[in-house]
Amino acid sequence: MDGKETRTPAQICPDTFWADWIRDHTATAVSYLQSASIHFQDVKARSYDALGLKAGAVVLDVGCGLGQDARELMRLVGAQGQVVGADYSEEMVAEARRRAKDGSSLPKFVVSEAHHLGFSNNTFDASRADRVLQHLADPRAAFEEMVRVTKAGGTVQIIDRDWGLVAVDADDQAVTRKILDHICAKIRNGWIGRRVPVLFQDSGLQEVRVEAIPITVRDFRVADILLDLTLVAGHAADERIVSSDDKKAWLLELQERSDAGRFFAAWVMFIVTGKKAV
């Protein structure tokens, strides 16, 4: 693009916020979110069911991105309800507003930083964040903000993945392990999936339910979009975690496996839902 390294959203370095990346790569971010959402439809549907929303509910979607979830939640709460999509990125909020123009009952989209949500205490019947905490500087503070703005008796929900639970089948187990560990290390909170239940416990939420959902992929091209395998293998080689020859051989094998119908990758998504004490 402009001579700078191009990185996808999954590969934000530890000192860079998601919103900062979007400012330089808005078109790439939009494309990524559109592609990724297709492969998480089952997880999203199950998360909506777990919320147990009633008509007329007021819902907050933290890190709303392009607004797909907010629009679906709006359908669930009906014309008497309200959904607010909040995102730190002005570009994402503008795009979400643009995409929502055709609906009759529209979500409201606002720019708001997850660590300091601009809403009063006890505002929402439900608050959720989908694949957001993994990117935040202080996921605990952001989670406590979600609890704060949720009404007593209301529902709080986190959907996130655990980058330490990614599996890719390949012949060279040592190289595979090094590259997959490097993927996890490149994520600000790579182990957030396994840590979310403790956040709920520490915040005093009740009726906590944890659902672990495996995602499986049989196509290298799809896995490369969702896991950045080519990009991170390149980073691992540049940083001499693996050799350049090992990187090339590993990626070639994955493509050959895919062409032969033998590729397999998997990881775990967690849906954690709880009730704020009355």
Asked whether the predicted pLDDT for residue 252 surpasses 50, the reply is: yes
Q: Give the model confidence (pLDDT) of 54-73 as tens digits.
A: 999 999 999 999 999 999 99
d(CA 150, CA 113): 16
Tell me which CATH code domain 9-162+189-214+269-275 carries. Answer: 3.40.50.150
Least confident of 25-29, 160-164, 258-262: 25-29
- Please, how many CA atoms are within 13 Å of residue 190, restricted to the half-sphere of its CB? 17
CB neighbour burial string for 127-161, b if at least 16 within 10 angstroms, e if fewer: bbbbbbbbbbeebbebbebbbbbbbeebbbbbbbb
| Residue owning tokens 């390949």 | 170
pLDDT, tens only, 100-131: 876 556 899 999 999 999 999 999 999 999 99
Cα angle for residues 38, 39, 43 (degrees, 5° grid): 105
pLDDT at 34: 66
Over residues 9-23, the pLDDT tens digits come to 444 333 344 555 556
Would the pLDDT of 209 be above 70?
A: yes
Domain range list for the chain: 9-162+189-214+269-275
Please tell me whether residue 275 adopts helix, strand or coil conformation: strand
Put simply, whether the predicted model's pTM sits higher than 0.85 gets the answer yes
Whether the Cβ atoms of residue 13 and residue 186 lie closer than 8 Å to each other: yes
Q: Supply the pLDDT for residue 8.
A: 44
Pick 57 or 186 by higher pLDDT.
Answer: 57
What is the average pLDDT value for the chain, to the nearest integer?
89
Percentage of residues of the chain with pLDDT beyond 90: 79
